Amino acid sequence: MKKLILEVQKHPALRIIGVIFCLEHLLTILFWLTERPLHWILSPSNAPICWPFFSSCELFKPSPGILNFILVLYGLFAIAGAIAWWNKKVRLATSLLLILILFKISIIALDYRLTGNYHYLPTMLALVFLLIPERRFSLTVSFFIIYFTAGVLKINSQWLTGTAINDHIMPSYMTTLGVWYVLVLELGLIFFLFSKKDRWFYFLFFQLVYFHLYSWHLTRFFYPVVMLSLLGILLIVRPTVEEWNIKESFKKAFSTKTAQILLLIFLILQLPQYLIPGNSALTGEGRMYAMIMYDGRVQCQPHLSIWKKDGSKEDLSLQPPWLMTRTQCDPLIYWRLAQKTCEWVKNDNSIIQVDLAIPIRNDKNSPWHPLVSTIDVCRNNYAYYSFFPNSWINKIDPSSYTEAVEPEEEGGGADGGEILGD
């Protein structure tokens, strides 16, 4: 904390960064009241989708009245934090920002559907701001790592061919040119963050602004607004350094053990999706705590088959609302719903078995493949592992998969695509 106080005293403009991080929490409240209705997702009448590390999340669901109180309190802390940063009350402001981060994480932990890059990235940057000295450099380097990592994650056939983008505004050839330009931006032009010449820095900056503005119709309002707000940090720190140098910036950013540990944790969280067999964009395995920059037009038709003693079978479609692109076909979602179904099935003597099936495909022109095809889910006690392969999830790689399945009904399922991921 002492180093943060000294840095703010030496560079008063840094306090505006604290204001930005606090205001981002106000944006989050607006998001939860509109685009991602928190009251509905956490409603006691709706089945929860618990995280693997918090299987008892349903026990901690607040009532609608208490949730309203929590959101009001959350908003007041955000306003108080912004005022404290503006008035250079760094000790108080730091405490309030930490409380806001804990508020957000605690709420997100109540339901897996509340996850998203739009929470992941600002939280990560806020922790860098609070914990790592030489903030002018550590924040700039963090932006570089975020965009460069995003570029690396996009080096695959779905992105390079443009099939990952569900863009109905631009013609297909423009989409193809656009996805390649994004790679040039994130893997090449992003180095201009450290340019000694301002004109190259501002050239990059306006490219990033346009990039996020264009993504608005693909990701809706919250993600672009959050990223555009965070980009303001670059404008704040740029004038505080007399001469930028990439080598010197990295040296100062990672001069402490805290910075090195945070980077190591970030990189470790990205690895499981590459170490687990199969296409993680389809299986969802290994990327639960990773940064996801896009998802393709994956479709699925998850359903339960309920078998009865009289030999009849009832197919129950599983289509929970308020899923986003990265989770709409995630096996964890439907495994949790199958668990909830098993709770009432055990009291019905007429039911002898419940099977879970998730046919999946890349897009409307691709064949269906069995992502999940489990028998008797209520008795087999399947477990879900966040960082290791799950035996009940088929390791699908469409480029080499030969077996195809046909769902019982055509149509339905989830269909989407986004340039950045939510």
| pLDDT band per the 50, 70, 90 thresholds, residue 32 | very high
**Helix-strand-coil split of the chain, %, nearest 5:** 55, 10, 35
pLDDT for 60-105, tens place per residue?
999 999 999 999 999 999 999 999 999 999 999 999 999 999 999 9
pLDDT for 330-386, tens place per residue?
999 999 999 989 988 888 889 999 999 999 987 777 788 899 999 999 988 889 999
Q: To 5 degrees, how large is the angle CA 142–CA 146–CA 150? A: 165
Out of 139-148, 174-183, 361-370, 391-400, the most confident range is: 139-148
**What does the pLDDT read at residue 411?**
37
- Quote the pTM value: 0.87
Out of 87-101, 207-221, 263-277, the most confident range is: 87-101
Averaged over 270-299, what is the pLDDT? 83
Q: What is the token pair recorded at 417?
A: 């695509």
User: Residues of the chain with pLDDT > 70: what percent?
Assistant: 91
**What does the pLDDT read at residue 298?**
79
Q: Are 19 and 82 in contact (CB under 8 A)?
A: yes
Taking the mean position of all CA atoms in its chain, how far away is CA 298? 17
DSSP state letter for 191? G
pLDDT for 36-56, tens place per residue?
899 999 998 888 999 999 999
Averaged over 287-298, what is the pLDDT? 76
Lowest mean pLDDT among 16-25, 127-136, 212-221, 329-338: 212-221
DSSP for 292-332 reads ---B---EE--EEEEEETTS-EEEEE---SS--TTTTT-HH
Q: Please determine, for residue 111, whether its predicted confidence score (pLDDT) is greater than 80.
A: yes
Lowest mean pLDDT among 157-161, 220-224, 276-280, 376-380: 157-161
Q: Are 307 and 405 in contact (CB under 8 A)?
A: no
Q: Please determine, for residue 324, whether its predicted confidence score (pLDDT) is greater than 50.
A: yes
| C-alpha to C-alpha distance for 222 and 8, rounded to whole angstroms | 29
Q: Please determine, for residue 147, whether its predicted confidence score (pLDDT) is greater than 70.
A: yes
**What does the pLDDT read at residue 421?**
45
pLDDT for 223-246, tens place per residue?
999 999 999 999 999 999 989 999
Q: Please determine, for residue 157, whether its predicted confidence score (pLDDT) is greater than 70.
A: yes
**What does the pLDDT read at residue 412?**
39
Query: In degrees rounded to 5, what are phi and psi of residue 107?
Result: -70, -45
